[in-house]
Amino acid sequence: MAVKVIIPTPLRAYAGKQESVELQAGTVGEALAALTARFSDLKKHLYADDGRLRSFVNVYVNDEDIRYLQKDQTRVREGDTISIVPSIAGGARN
Amino acid sequence: MTAATSLKINGDLLRRIQAHGVETYPHECCGALLGCDADGSREVLDLLPLANRRNDSPRNRFEVTPGDVLLAEKTARESKMELLGWYHSHPDHPARPSEFDREHAWPWYSYIIVSIDQRVPRDTTSWRLRDDRSAYDPEAIESAAHTATS
């Protein structure tokens, strides 16, 4: 399936300065794997060292959060749009 | 240390960030920086103050939900600006990013931190995360002459 992944502005420098990338994938996990295979510098900003998506990185298929679907096993259909949206978190003390 | 990047912002906007930190003290405040970024020249033209969604530990943590991030992007887009980054306060703590800040950041964004000491604004600093995520680099804050858009 051809799906479109919207690249958030802060990460475009690691994705050939593109606003979006079209990929072939059957699931969200496959789409993100294909994305980070094509643009390897993206990986460390999306995934923690343990291979999981960073806790502040949220992924949506069309407008639905994949946490409430089947996470990275969420099926995608032709023409779906995958969005990567951060939560912004921080604080004074470690 | 010499900052490799700089962020222009006028005094009115800086004072609004500090006032937000005083208003929410002893809790952390947070908000979005809206403006323009062209050829490496970055200027904040407006702010979008946001609610700190971290209800369990608001004295030393802040959180902007994805919904509020999308709202900030939409607000910037509608005003023909960009979402340049974020600000937050450190109540009774220096205006330096913590390890927690570093783990929850992306490069490119500017992160302004204002320290609020017993309701009094102290230092205001700006930071950018390195490409390799190893540390933040300080960003010079330059005063801009124009007037805030709101």
Tell me what ipTM this predicted complex has: 0.90
Q: For residue B138, which phi and psi values (nearest 5 degrees)?
A: -70, 145
For the segment B84-101, the average pLDDT, to the nearest whole number, is 95
Domains of chain B: 5-144 (3.40.140.10)
Position B148 confidence tier, pLDDT thresholds 50, 70, 90: very low
Structurally, at CATH architecture level, domain A2-86 sits in Roll (3.10)
Quick: pLDDT tens for A21-64: 999 999 999 999 999 999 999 999 999 999 999 999 999 999 99
**H or E element in which residue A37 lies:** helix A28-38
Among A residues 55-84, those touching chain B with beta carbons less than 8 Å apart:
55-56, 58, 65
Query: What is the spatial distance between Cα A48 and Cα A34, in angstroms, rounded to a whole number?
Result: 17
Phi and psi angles of residue B115, each rounded to the nearest 5 degrees, phi first? -90, 135
Which residue from A11, A55, A92 is facing B106, i.e. has the nearest CB? A11
Comparing CB atoms, the residue among A13, A44, A92 nearest residue B60 is: A92
Tokens at A50, concatenated: 């343990």
Rounded-to-integer distance, Cα A86 and Cα A44, Å: 14
The mean predicted confidence, pLDDT, of chain A is 95
